[in-house]
């Protein structure tokens, strides 16, 4: 590896990411599909190979996953997670049933092995928290009545990932029933311990990491996260889940400060992660899976809309808000790619990677569109909401004509 060539390739990749991000922002869309396309263009079978920087980008992609889950965990505390889990459990069950089942059945139809079918079920099940949060903010809907319903579904999916990923990892590794049971037990025990620590001693963890100096806070939080992620991986609990649990354990002002400090790192390495997934996919493998990816995207977009509709109706939201909730949940992104990446690395069916890439590309573009246009469509169907005129105060009655 020649350092000059490595620096040239890395510099070109990062500069290219900046250009793609600006282009996506110009059209009001998520940059994820452009990052994936950039990786496809310069990966195996693409226009130019980045062989000198493969190893660095691979490690950077792993760090990107860890930071994505860490910052997601920083958004919540253990008490909020427990409350959301209790209140939204039925919606989580409907979400899993409606959205994981099509992926599993599609895998069977395509002739995948059962473990690859389970991975595809995860790909179609999990919505993109990052894309959805950005879309809701861009549309000014963070204060809408249906938004807590959307966030509740996302939190439940993130929690379910803490159980799903260890099970999938064990199955991909070919671990038997006993070994798989031990892995799941370790995962559940680890999650329980971290949640107890976060609930009862979260202030101590936050106090230990707290610092007014950004440098010390960055080093402390990042060091603890990478350490726990590595230990979690050794215990056959996903490194990403370990990072998520660290984020949950940090609370209050320390979590907010850490989020601000770590966000630029997250943005950089998350972009590298999406590029890496594109680099590892041969563009020549995409055309054969475009039709099944499109059909699967259409079916699971409708099932996500149905999920949001059902969850919002259960919360007493009016019909337009129900469809807005469903439309917001359509986007898939980082977690679908993470699941597919795990399966591809374990040597499952070679079609799974290209299928997941095409599927995510379709829905990461369609998701912001369904979120944006659900409201005007519903307003056209149901008519504008009635405007309530204020009732005049008694002292103002003499001013009326």
Residues 6+ positions from 210 with CB-CB distance below 8 Å = 217, 253, 254, 257
Q: Taken in order 36, 268, 70, 90, is the CA torsion positive or negative? A: negative
Residue 381 belongs to a domain: no
For 26, other C-beta atoms within 10 Å of its C-beta total: 8
Residue 385 belongs to a domain: no
Residue 50 belongs to a domain: no
Residue 250 belongs to a domain: yes
Number of domains comprising the chain: 1
Give, for all 401 residues of the chain, the pLDDT tens digit. Answer: 567 877 887 888 888 888 988 888 887 777 877 887 787 777 665 556 666 666 777 788 888 878 877 887 787 666 666 676 677 788 889 999 999 999 999 999 999 999 999 999 999 999 987 678 777 777 778 778 888 888 788 878 877 876 787 778 777 777 655 656 676 677 677 767 766 776 677 677 788 888 888 899 999 999 988 998 888 777 666 677 778 778 878 877 888 888 889 889 888 888 887 787 777 677 777 888 999 999 999 999 999 999 999 999 988 888 888 899 999 999 887 778 878 888 887 778 888 888 988 898 889 888 888 888 876 776 676 555 544 445 555 554 444 44
Asked whether 43 and 57 are in contact (CB, 8 A), the reply is: no
Residue 9 belongs to a domain: no
CA distance 56 to 157: 30
Residue 270 belongs to a domain: yes
- What CATH number does the domain containing 340 carry? 1.20.1530.20
Residues 6+ positions from 183 with CB-CB distance below 8 Å = 166, 167, 169, 170, 175, 236, 237
Range of the domain at 168: 57-375
Residue 232 belongs to a domain: yes
Block residue for tokens 């590595």: 230
Q: Is 358 exposed, middle or buried (0-12, 13-18, 19+ CB in 10 A)?
A: buried
Block residue for tokens 């959805």: 132
CA distance 265 to 67: 8
H-run or E-run covering 223: helix 214-234
Residue 251 belongs to a domain: yes
Residues 6+ positions from 116 with CB-CB distance below 8 Å = 107, 343, 348, 349, 352
């Amino acid at each position: 590896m020649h350092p000059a060539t490595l620096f040239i390739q890395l510099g070109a990749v990062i500069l290219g990411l900046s250009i793609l991000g600006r282009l996506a922002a110009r059209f009001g869309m998520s940059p994820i599909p452009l990052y994936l396309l950039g990786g496809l263009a310069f990966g195996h079978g693409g226009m130019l190979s980045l062989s000198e920087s493969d190893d660095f980008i691979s490690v950077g992609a792993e760090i990107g996953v860890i930071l994505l889950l860490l910052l997601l965990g920083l958004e919540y505390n253990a008490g909020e997670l427990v409350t959301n889990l209790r209140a939204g459990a039925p919606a989580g069950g409907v979400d899993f049933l409606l959205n994981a089942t099509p992926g599993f059945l599609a895998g069977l139809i395509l002739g995948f092995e059962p473990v690859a079918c389970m991975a595809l079920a995860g790909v179609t099940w999990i919505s993109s928290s990052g894309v959805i949060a950005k879309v809701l903010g861009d549309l000014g809907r963070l204060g809408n009545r249906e938004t807590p319903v959307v966030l509740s579904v996302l939190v439940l999916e993130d929690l379910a990932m803490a159980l799903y990923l260890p099970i999938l990892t064990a199955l991909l590794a070919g671990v038997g029933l006993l070994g798989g049971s031990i892995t799941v037990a370790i995962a559940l025990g680890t999650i329980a311990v971290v949640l107890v620590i976060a609930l009862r001693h979260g202030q101590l963890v936050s106090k230990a990491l707290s610092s007014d100096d950004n440098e010390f806070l960055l080093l402390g939080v990042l060091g603890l996260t990478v350490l726990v992620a590595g230990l979690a991986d050794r215990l056959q609990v996903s490194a990403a889940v370990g990072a998520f649990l660290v984020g949950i354990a940090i609370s209050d002002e320390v979590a907010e400060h850490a989020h601000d400090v770590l966000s630029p790192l997250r943005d950089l390495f998350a972009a590298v992660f999406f590029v890496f997934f594109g680099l590892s996919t041969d563009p020549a493998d995409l055309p054969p899976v475009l039709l099944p990816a499109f059909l699967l995207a259409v079916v699971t977009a409708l099932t996500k809309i149905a999920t949001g509709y059902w969850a919002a109706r259960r919360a007493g939201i009016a019909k337009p808000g129900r469809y807005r909730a469903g439309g917001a949940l359509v986007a898939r992104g980082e977690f679908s790619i993470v699941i597919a990446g795990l399966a591809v690395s374990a040597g499952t069916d070679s079609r799974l990677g290209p299928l997941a890439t095409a599927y995510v590309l379709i829905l990461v573009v369609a998701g912001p569109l369904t979120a944006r246009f659900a409201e005007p469509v519903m307003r056209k169907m149901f008519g504008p909401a009635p405007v309530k005129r204020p009732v005049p105060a008694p002292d103002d009655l003499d001013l009326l004509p």
